Amino acid sequence: MKKFRPSNRRRHTEEKIYMYGRHALEEALLKAPHTVRKVFLSSEAADREIRSGLSKRGIPFSIMKPKEAAHLVGKEATHQGVIAVVDPSSLVMDFNTFKKNLRPTEETILVLLDELTDPQNVGAIIRSAAAFGASGVLIPEHRQAPVTGAVVKVSAGMVFSVPLISIGNVNYAVQDLKEIGFKAYGLVMDGTVNISEEKFNAPSLFIVGNEGRGIREKTLELCDVRLRIPIDSKCESLNASVSAAVVLYKWSTQHLK
């Protein structure tokens, strides 16, 4: 098998994003302070607690002028007087590095995004992955929505809680993970196995396809199981992030207590 090529983590991230809101900053400082480059605070938000947290971690901050926040993140953003400059590339881990430290068990799940283009879906899936105990979210370098401010916001700060792993080639990543014991599940409308019938008794890799075309055929051929979510005939389909949440929840009913 062709060896997996190391990835360039900056290919699917913006060089810099603005994250806003006190809760999002608290999550970042708690889980991934190395991603925060600078913080802008309103005079009202710059209390002793937040100043101390930033100073302790060596993160520079400054007091914003009244109109500066709107210039940075727009007038509609509910920023609570807290805006942080985040380097999203430092959130993303190289696949080979991640795999080297991975010791999969029946309790291990990963989510692989197969070229999703909507940042709302990407952020929502990351949030669900964190909620249901995923060990990581695998994100392709190409033809994939990058980690942006919108992704951070929709994830409710969970981008700082669940590892994000960069992959150069989806099929190579799936093959590599299967070699170390993972069972690959493709989420497809016409899947042959109802999620209520599957026993998730091996390390699980859930593959979520593109919003329009779904999982690519070559990738689908690598799936051990094609999972189907039963829905009412009045509804044609579920979107990518909802499908991922449903399957992750179903997995969690067998594994989380």
Q: Last residue of some domain: 37, 56, 86?
A: 86
**20-32 burial, b for 16+ CB within 10 Å, e for fewer?**
bbeebbbbbbeeb
Structural domain contains residue 26: yes
Residues 148 and 229 in one domain: yes
Residues 77 and 94 in one domain: no
At 235 the pLDDT is: 85
Distance CA 137, CA 25 (A): 21
Q: Last residue of some domain: 65, 86, 107?
A: 86
At 171 the pLDDT is: 96
Q: Last residue of some domain: 63, 86, 109?
A: 86
At 233 the pLDDT is: 83
CB 114 within 8 A of CB 210: yes
pLDDT tens, residue order, the chain (257 aa)? 334 343 444 444 456 788 888 888 888 899 889 899 999 999 888 888 899 999 999 999 999 987 888 888 777 777 888 999 988 778 888 999 999 989 999 999 999 999 899 999 999 999 999 999 999 999 998 888 888 777 888 888 889 989 999 999 999 999 999 999 999 999 998 888 999 999 999 999 999 998 888 899 999 999 999 999 988 888 878 889 999 999 999 999 999 87
Residues 112 and 46 in one domain: no
Find tokens 């983590």 and name the residue. Answer: 9
Question: What are the phi and psi torsion angles at 154 (to 5°)?
Answer: -65, -30
Q: Could you tell me where the beta strands, DSSP code E, fall in 59-152? A: 61-63, 82-86, 92-94, 109-114, 136-140
**Burial class for 87, CB neighbours closer than 10 Å (0-12, 13-18, 19+):** middle
Distance CA 10, CA 236 (A): 37
Domain that residue 40 falls in: 17-86
Number of domains in the chain: 2
At 128 the pLDDT is: 97
**165-197 burial, b for 16+ CB within 10 Å, e for fewer?**
bbbbbbebbbebbbeeebbbbbbbeebeeebee
Distance CA 171, CA 31 (A): 30
At 1 the pLDDT is: 36
Residues 161 and 246 in one domain: yes
Find the Cα–Cα–Cα–Cα dihedral 183, 184, 187, 191, rounded to 10°: -80
